Amino acid sequence: MTVIVLTNCPAGLRGFLTRWLLEISAGVFVGNPSARVRDALWEEVRQYADQGRALLAHTMNNEQGFTFRTHDHAWHPTDHEGVTLIHRPDPNAPTAAPTPRNGPPSGWSRASKRRRFGRG
């Protein structure tokens, strides 16, 4: 069994995949192609995805019974003692040095600034 999930990809790519797989929902393709066809389809997806994201999951003879590949996802597959897990980036991790702020954030009304920061 093979599952390909496309997000924000060209309609032509979706049309191409319907030659080999069944589209059961928008951007979700399911089928049972051979390993050679599956790998060829994945290369086409990676080549023509443009700004979109793609995910391929297929059955495999391993501990989990399946494996998966990603293209342009923030989450990445990571091998952990023979089991493939998804590594999600920490949203609270600092991406840049924090800048000190003087006073309340801009864009608030004067009344809300007074209520929030106890002035006046």
Q: How many domains does the chain contain in total?
A: 1
Asked whether residue 119 is assigned to any structural domain, the reply reads: no
- Is 55 within 8 Å of 69 (Cβ atoms)? yes
Instruction: Kindly report the CATH number assigned to the domain that includes residue 9.
Output: 3.30.70.240
Q: Residue 86's pLDDT is what?
A: 86
Give whichever of 43-47, 75-79, 83-87, 88-92 has the largest mean pLDDT. 43-47
Structural domain including 85 reads 2-89
In a domain, 96, yes or no: no
Evaluate whether residue 99 is within a structural domain: no
Query: Whole-structure pTM over 0.95, yes or no?
Result: no
pLDDT tens digit string along 11-41? 999 999 999 999 999 999 999 999 999 999 9
Residue 105 in domain: no
Residue 75 lies inside a defined structural domain of this protein:
yes
d(CA 37, CA 34): 5
Query: Which amino acid is present at 77?
Result: P
